[in-house]
């Protein structure tokens, strides 16, 4: 990551993408103890009404934009914000890159 650049997962380098992909394929027990994992706050996840599992941590998630096909990373810290502060649905996953999201909000 370049100095001074906020680590948003936007425009990741190939190295960053490879590392995120490697980590996302690890066992959850190993991910949980990884330095890039971010702890979840179960008290802030009470809005989630699911029979599925409530996450106890977040990990960087590489994804492909469904719109333009660009590879980006949904950062663990951004997932925490999305689920715990924005009260997003737990089944939501990043599907659009930063540029496409901005373009959709500002047509």
Contact positions with Zn ion (CB under 5 A) in 73-102? 97, 100
- Options 26, 54, 68, 92; binder of Zn ion; rule CB under 5 A: 68
| C-alpha–C-alpha distance, residues 73 and 26, integer Å | 16
C-beta separation of 68 from 36 below 8 A: no
57 beta partners: 39
Q: Mark residues 18-57: x for contact with Zn ion by CB under 5 A, - for none.
A: ----------------------------------------
Task: Report the distance separating Cα 76 and Cα 66, nearest Å.
Answer: 20
Among residues 17, 48, 65, 90, the one that binds Zn ion under rule CB under 5 A: 65
């Amino acid at each position: 990551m370049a100095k001074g650049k906020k680590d948003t997962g936007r425009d990741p380098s190939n190295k960053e993408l490879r590392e995120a992909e490697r980590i996302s394929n690890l066992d959850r027990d190993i991910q949980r103890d990884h330095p890039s994992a971010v702890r979840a706050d179960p008290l802030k996840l009470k809005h989630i009404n699911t029979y599925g599992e409530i996450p106890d941590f977040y990990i960087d998630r590489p994804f492909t934009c469904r719109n333009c096909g660009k590879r980006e990373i949904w950062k663990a810290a951004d997932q925490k914000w999305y689920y715990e502060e924005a009260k997003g649905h737990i089944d939501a996953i990043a599907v659009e890159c930063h540029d496409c999201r901005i373009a959709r909000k500002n047509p």
